């Protein structure tokens, strides 16, 4: 892939190698990091090289009567960029025309600080305009309606300190294809969504393949809007899935209905609170056969309580966006388990970030 921002923009730091070299470089780093564990062969899941990010945020830089998209450069200073080729076509196609329209309209342009984009496979967009000024919504909305006429398939979120307004909605319906089935998900702006839908589909497929022989129920922590939960619920009798964000849980409940899944219980609670239910001999957990757990924590990995809880399951599927914290957690989780599968998902091409997965099962 080429991009005129390569070599300047601090987002893509591995720009001076081919995509295959980038994949091998990261795969080797993973193998080295986990060389003290008894790891199976690393499976590699490649991304599209360009136009793979379904969400992105750009600063807006104003200079005289012109405005530009801006990012932190490789030297950590703000730089303006003419294009970004890692974002979905839906985003890259609209970026400049949208900014041209905004630049023509002093009310929309004045103190516009940043723009966030969220797209779906149908090229619909939620565009969030973030301001460093006070505005009344009745002043801004007519200008936004003009953008909506100019750019069909866009909805807008307007944000400033202490205020957020939607015109007309703050979510999209995303479609994923996994193992010849189609799933639909409500994805809400400002809640977590996997950034790379091509890799996301491969991660869900991998989790399904690796749970084929598992029996009983599934417990899931950090479930978001039910991204893994909904397809995996077809593999298990019952599923209980938890997540800290009430908005994501609302979306997850909606998504279970949308996909006709009726064997899932979603709960909005932190992983540590949920883990505590086990030590409290909860009536809720007594209804489940607690053998299988799927976890997909944020970069910090598992807290002590959640690690102890996870360690009480026979089979663990661990999706990680931070190999360092995965390694720390594996020191405990692999003590009386075999590592059955190890995967590298290139969710963040051209960056040093690595997403990976492991499957562990109690020694036979
Ligand atoms: C890496 S995301 C994974 C989400 C989901 N599995 C997916 O694929 O979309 C991590 C999720 O953990 C949630 N989270 C963060 N801290 C948490 C905590 N302490 N307890 C429970 N969930 C938490 C976030 O809101 C986010 O949805």
List the CATH number of the domain containing 290: 3.40.50.150
Helix (H, G, I), strand (E, B) or coil at 211: coil
Query: Atom 1 in ligand 1: which residue has the minimum CA distance?
Result: 298
Dihedral angle, C-alpha 347, 350, 351, 354, nearest 10 °: 40
Residue 355 appears among annotated catalytic residues: yes
**Which residues lie closer than 8 Å to 200 by C-beta, 6 or more apart?**
176, 194, 227, 347
Which of 178, 224, 229, 247 most suits a substitution to test ligand 1, by most atoms within 8 Å of the C-beta?
224
149 — phi, psi (to 5°)? Answer: -70, -40
| pTM across the whole model | 0.97
Is 177 in the same domain as 305?
yes
Q: Answer whether 214's CB lies under 8 Å from 292's CB.
A: yes
In a domain, 199, yes or no: yes
Look up residue 339 and give its two tokens: 């590592």
Give the position, in ligand 1's atom list, of the atom nearest the Cα of 225.
9
Report the alpha-carbon distance of residue 90 to residue 99 in Å, rounded.
15
Is 274 in the same domain as 210?
yes
> Per residue in 221-247, pLDDT tens?
999 999 999 999 999 999 999 999 999
Domain finish residue from 171, 202, 229: 171
Alpha carbon separation from 239 to 9, 191, 289 (Å, rounded): 43, 22, 10
Is 192 in the same domain as 143?
no
Using alpha carbons, select from 353, 4, 43 the residue that is nearest to residue 203. Answer: 43
Is 119 in the same domain as 193?
no
| Residue carrying structure tokens 């077809």 | 234
The alpha carbon of 253 and the centre of ligand 1 are apart by a number of angstroms equal to 16
Report the alpha-carbon distance of residue 167 to residue 157 in Å, rounded.
6
Is 149 in the same domain as 183?
no
Helix H or strand E encompassing 203 = helix 197-209
In a domain, 11, yes or no: no
Q: Answer whether 126's CB lies under 8 Å from 120's CB.
A: no
The range of the structural domain enclosing residue 112 comes to 55-171
Alpha carbon separation from 193 to 17, 32, 197, 310 (Å, rounded): 28, 29, 9, 23
In a domain, 13, yes or no: no
Is 335 in the same domain as 186?
yes
Is 68 in the same domain as 162?
yes
In a domain, 10, yes or no: no
Task: Please tell me the total count of domains within the chain.
Answer: 2
Residues in contact with ligand 1 by the CB-under-6-Å rule are 192, 194, 222-224, 227-228, 243-245, 248, 270-271, 296-298, 321
The alpha carbon of 259 and the centre of ligand 1 are apart by a number of angstroms equal to 21
In this structure, the number of other CB atoms found within 10 A of the CB of residue 59 comes to: 18
CATH number of the structural domain spanning residue 155: 2.40.50.1070
Is 31 in the same domain as 112?
no
In a domain, 183, yes or no: yes
Query: Atom 4 in ligand 1: which residue has the minimum CA distance?
Result: 224
Beta strands in 189-307 (DSSP E): 218-221, 239-243, 264-268, 292-295
Task: Check residue 28 and give its pLDDT.
Answer: 98
Report the alpha-carbon distance of residue 186 to residue 111 in Å, rounded.
31
In a domain, 156, yes or no: yes
Domain finish residue from 171, 192, 213: 171
In a domain, 9, yes or no: no
| Catalytic site residue from 116, 321, 331, 356 | 321
Report the alpha-carbon distance of residue 260 to residue 263 in Å, rounded.
9
Q: Answer whether 255's CB lies under 8 Å from 232's CB.
A: no
The tens place of each residue's pLDDT in the chain, 364 residues long, gives 889 999 999 999 999 999 999 999 999 999 999 999 999 999 999 999 999 999 999 999 999 999 999 999 999 999 999 999 999 999 999 999 999 999 999 999 999 999 999 999 999 999 999 999 888 889 899 999 999 999 999 999 999 999 999 999 999 999 999 999 999 999 999 999 999 999 999 999 999 999 999 999 999 999 999 999 999 999 999 999 999 999 999 999 999 999 999 999 999 999 999 999 887 778 888 999 989 999 999 999 999 999 999 999 999 999 999 999 999 999 999 999 999 999 999 999 999 999 999 999 998 7
Residue 12 appears among annotated catalytic residues: no
Report the alpha-carbon distance of residue 5 to residue 350 in Å, rounded.
12
Is 88 in the same domain as 192?
no
Is 162 in the same domain as 187?
no
| Residue carrying structure tokens 């009745």 | 138
The alpha carbon of 102 and the centre of ligand 1 are apart by a number of angstroms equal to 34
Report the alpha-carbon distance of residue 14 to residue 245 in Å, rounded.
33
Is 107 in the same domain as 227?
no
Domain finish residue from 149, 171, 193: 171
In a domain, 3, yes or no: no
Is 86 in the same domain as 153?
yes
């Amino acid at each position: 892939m080429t991009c005129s921002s390569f070599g300047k923009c601090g987002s893509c730091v591995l720009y001076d190698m081919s995509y295959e070299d980038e994949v091998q470089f990261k795969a080797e780093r993973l193998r080295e990091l986990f060389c003290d564990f008894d790891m199976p062969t690393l499976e590699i899941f490649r991304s599209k090289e360009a136009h793979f990010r379904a969400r992105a945020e750009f600063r807006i830089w104003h200079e005289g009567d012109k405005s530009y998209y801006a990012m932190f450069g490789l030297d950590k200073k703000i730089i303006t960029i003419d294009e970004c080729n890692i974002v979905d076509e839906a985003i890259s196609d609209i970026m400049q025309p949208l900014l041209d329209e905004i630049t023509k309209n002093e009310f929309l342009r004045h103190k516009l600080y940043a723009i966030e984009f969220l797209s779906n496979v149908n090229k619909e967009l939620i565009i969030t305009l973030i301001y460093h000024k006070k505005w009344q919504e009745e002043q801004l909305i007519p200008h936004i309606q003009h953008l909506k006429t100019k750019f069909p398939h866009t909805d807008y979120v307007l944000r400033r300190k202490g205020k957020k307004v939607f015109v007309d909605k703050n979510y999209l319906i995303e479609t994923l294809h996994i193992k010849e089935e189609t799933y639909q998900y409500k994805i809400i702006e400002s809640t977590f969504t996997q950034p790379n839908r091509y890799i996301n589909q491969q991660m869900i497929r991998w989790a399904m393949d690796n749970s084929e022989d598992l029996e009983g129920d599934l417990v899931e922590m950090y479930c978001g809007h039910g991204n893994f939960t909904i397809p995996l619920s077809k593999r298990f009798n019952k599923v209980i899935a938890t997540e800290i964000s009430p908005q994501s849980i609302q979306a997850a409940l909606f998504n279970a209905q949308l996909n006709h899944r009726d064997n899932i219980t979603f709960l909005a609670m932190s992983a540590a609170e949920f883990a505590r239910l086990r030590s409290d001999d909860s009536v809720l957990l007594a209804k489940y056969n607690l053998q299988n757990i799927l976890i997909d924590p944020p970069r910090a990995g598992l807290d002590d309580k959640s690690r102890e809880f996870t360690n009480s399951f026979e089979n663990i599927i661990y999706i990680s966006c931070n190999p360092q914290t995965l390694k720390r957690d594996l020191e405990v989780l692999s003590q009386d388990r075999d590592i059955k599968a190890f995967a590298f998902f290139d969710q963040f091409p051209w960056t040093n970030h690595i997403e990976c997965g492991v499957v562990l099962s109690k020694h036979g």
